[in-house]
Amino acid sequence: MNRTRNTVLTVLFLCLSISSFAQFGVPNLLKYDKKRLHFGFAFGYNLFDFSISSKPNLADYDSLMAINTRAISGASLGIVTNLRLGKYFDLRFIPSLSFGAPYMRYGIRSSETGNIYWYPPNHRTDPPQPDNLDAVCIDLPILFKYKSSRMLNNIRAYVITGGQASFNVISNKGKKSSGAGVILQLRRFDIQAQAGFGFDFYCTYFKFSTEVKMSFGLINVLAKENKYVNSINWLRAKNLQISFIFE
């Protein structure tokens, strides 16, 4: 909770700092919105997690008592191509490289003591496990952007919607278990729906945008290659992304 609050405060501070260069009283970049194509770059903060559907009675699966996930932060870097479709509509393509490590834990009842222990152990109190769900993804989103008229001369609000194909280039699908064990194996390919909102700030020499976007996996990314997956119906990725875009 503290991490999320600090991130939001940092984003607000950065937005206010950048917007101060927009000079609300003097319109900037008057010819910018009439250009057919714009290019730029984006970098962002990601919060990776899963939506999970488990079987009703986990105790049927070899003393398994609970499954939970924990959101893990990551980063992304992308190249922006923006095609103007009309006064209020744009089509955007932002191929990106995303880094993250979604995290899942199992609560297992000990056959000796009857106590429930968590596997992998808590990373804050125990040594990290060598096998995890580290992900380096190539994301290929296509988004429609609907933007407002300029406000205060140099600010626009907008909403976006669309989808993306995502390729995990270091998926652990097919990876052999080590001494610590591979809990889950994920497929390399995913399709995700996306929706979000943001603000454009027209500065003197460039346009800066800040954007909040959610991605929701549409397909099951769980590979049926491990005994632990028998207790899970499906596993779908979800991702909160806060982006900073320069065009």
Residuewise pLDDT in 10s, the chain (247 residues): 455 555 555 555 555 555 555 455 678 888 888 899 999 999 988 888 888 777 666 555 555 555 667 777 888 999 999 999 998 999 999 999 988 766 666 666 655 565 655 555 554 444 334 345 567 889 999 999 999 988 888 889 999 999 999 998 876 555 554 444 445 677 888 999 999 999 999 988 889 999 999 999 998 887 766 556 666 777 788 889 999 999 9
CA distance linking residue 67 with residue 144, whole number of Å:
36
pTM (2 decimals)? Answer: 0.76
For residue 32, what are its two tokens? 């910018």
What are the angstrom distances between the C-alpha of 151 and each of 181, 201, 216? 55, 10, 31
CA distance linking residue 109 with residue 222, whole number of Å:
24
Position 91 scores a pLDDT of 96
Domain ranges for the chain, please list them: 2-246
Position 103 scores a pLDDT of 65
Whose structure tokens read 């096998």? 131
CA distance linking residue 189 with residue 180, whole number of Å:
26
What are the angstrom distances between the C-alpha of 34 and each of 85, 201, 224? 10, 16, 51
CA distance linking residue 238 with residue 224, whole number of Å:
20
Q: What share of the chain is helix, strand, coil (3-state, %, to 5)?
A: 15, 50, 35
Whose structure tokens read 């699966």? 61
CA distance linking residue 119 with residue 106, whole number of Å:
5
HEC string for 67-128 = EEEECEEEEEEEEEEEEECCCCEEEEECCEEEEECCEEEEEEECCCCCCEEEECCCCCCCCC
What contacts 31, CB < 8 A, 6 or more positions away?
Answer: none
For residue 193, what are its two tokens? 């729906």
CA distance linking residue 35 with residue 245, whole number of Å:
18
For residues 117 and 108, the answer to whether their CB atoms sit within 8 Å is yes
φ/ψ of residue 165, rounded to 5: -95, 135
Domain formed by 2-246, architecture: Beta Barrel (2.40)
